[in-house]
Structure 1
């Protein structure tokens, strides 16, 4: 861990880890990247085309049209870049910026980097525990909350140890802790 965790005096460290580097959920990631590729290509092409037209503008309205087209292309290029490059950047930085710790009382998720945070999830007998197996890594969900979004629709927000190599081992350790806290 980059900074020491605020552990209680009778709390001991059981496991510490980080996400496995690389792309996970390849089908979803590939779909999103393919979906964003036309936005990126068209946005960049339109941007370059309008920049080429601007110096050739014969009068003020033609120059204004070239500038409007340039401004119009930027959101498309940005959206495409987010969908195409976002998963690659996230795959490279998640293993460096996220640390997981399991103690005898709680699970800690520490994020460093741009938006640092430390989240603590107590291990209780009523903790909603779920193991999601993957091909290269597994995810242990240990917190689920039903929330309403801005439209008023219900959605479930999950938190836990995402894409860890020792998913089954950690899942078993948490199950054992739940049995001891009854």
Structure 2
């Protein structure tokens, strides 16, 4: 973790990372089952198109076989993303995400492909939410209403996701809220 841009008289109280593994098993299994037909059909179209390409008697048959081969690629890619994506995320999240709690703010640092550092100030009015889990808990410290591409409002949450010491960190944040600024 690169050094945090701490302000004067600000000290780090806690540092951590997400617990490795699948935490929302139901959601992951649903995505995998939903993506499996896309993966199978995409791979089948791809190889069937390649097979028909080798046996195409005319140029138009070869063109149709090439089209079928190319048609299967996006379906196979989408299926692979849905089937294997949750597994890849479960393995890489603990490596690429670091959390820190200071006397003034919560820091979420991401490394890897899209590095970022987000700072969420801890104030008495900061809305906190604790979601306890079996192996890890999530603390939401920031929520914002955003419009999606259809114009519908949705809530985007941010915080310390899937940490082992959820209750302890939640208590630390509550203590920070109670202290005068």
User: Is residue 133 from structure 1 mapped to residue 132 from structure 2 by the alignment?
Assistant: yes
Deviation at 1:147, TM superposition (A): 1.2
- Aligned position for 2:173: 174
Structure 2 vs 1, CA of residues 43 and 141 (structure 1 numbering), >3 Å: closer, same or farther? same
Match of 1:60 in 2: 59
Q: Does 1:15 align with 2:9?
A: no
Question: Per-residue CA shift, 1:105-136, capped at 9, x if unaligned?
Answer: 00000000000000000001111100001111
Offset of 1:70 from its aligned partner? 0.8
CA RMSD of aligned residues (A): 0.8
Displacement of 1:9 after TM fit?
Answer: 1.8
**Unpaired stretches in structure 1, ≥5 consecutive residues:** none
How far, CA to CA, are the matches of 1:94 and 1:7 in structure 2? 24
Whether contact under 8 Å (1:147, 1:155) holds in the other structure is yes
- How far apart are the structure 2 equivalents of 1:150 and 1:93? 28
> What TM-score results when the alignment is normalised by the length of structure 2?
0.98
Distance 2:21 2:63 in 1: 44
- DSSP-derived class of the 1:134 partner: coil
Corresponding residue for residue 31 of structure 1: 30
Q: Is the Cα contact below 8 Å between 1:57 and 1:63 reproduced in 2?
A: yes
What is the TM-score normalised by the length of structure 1?
Answer: 0.97
Q: Residue 156 of structure 1 corresponds to which residue in structure 2?
A: 155
The whole-number CA distance in structure 2 between the counterparts of 1:181 and 1:109 is: 24
In the alignment of these two chains, the number of paired residues is: 181
Q: Structure 2: give runs of 5+ residues left out of the alignment.
A: none
- Counterpart of 2:68 in structure 1 is 69
Query: Deviations along 1:58-87, whole A, 9 cap, x unmatched?
Result: 001100000110111111101100100100
In 2, are the aligned partners of 1:101 and 1:109 still within 8 Å (CA)? Answer: yes
Give 3-state SS (helix, strand or coil) of 1:135's partner. coil
How far apart are 1:181 and its partner, in Å? 3.8
Give the conservation status (yes or no) of the 8 Å contact 1:19–1:164: yes
